[in-house]
Amino acid sequence: MNKEKLEKICSIILSIIGIILVIDTVLEQFFNIGTKQQSFIFGYCIAFVLLGIKFPNILKRKYVVYPLYIMVAQTIYSLINKYF
C-alpha cells in the first residue's frame, strides 16, 4: 500500500475516532449519560502524535484537527466548571 493511501486511511480513522470522543464527552459532560473513556482518549492522543510524526500532512486536514480543537475546548470548559 502506498504512503498516500495509508495517510488518507489513517486520517479518516482519526477523524471518526475524534468525532466519537467528542460526542461521548458532550453526552457525559452536559447530560450525565455514560462514562468518560479515559483509556480511549489516551490512545487517541498517542495515535494523533505518532501519526502526526509519521505523516506531517495529516495535521493539515481540517476533519482531523477540528475534533482535537473541540476536545481542547471541552477540557478548558471542564476545568473552568471544576475550579470556578
What confidence score (pLDDT) does residue 38 get? Answer: 84
The predicted pLDDT at position 79 comes to 92
At residue 16, the 3 state secondary structure works out as: helix
Which mean pLDDT values do the consecutive 10-residue runs of the chain (84 residues) have? Answer: 90 94 91 86 92 92 92 92 90
The range of the structural domain enclosing residue 49 comes to 3-83
Q: HEC string of 28-43? A: HHHHCCCCCCHHHHHH
Burial of 60 from C-beta contacts in 10 A (0-12 / 13-18 / 19+)? exposed
Number of H helices, E strands in the chain: 3, 0
Question: How many domains does the chain fold into?
Answer: 1
Q: What is the pLDDT of residue 34?
A: 84
Amino acid sitting at position 32: N
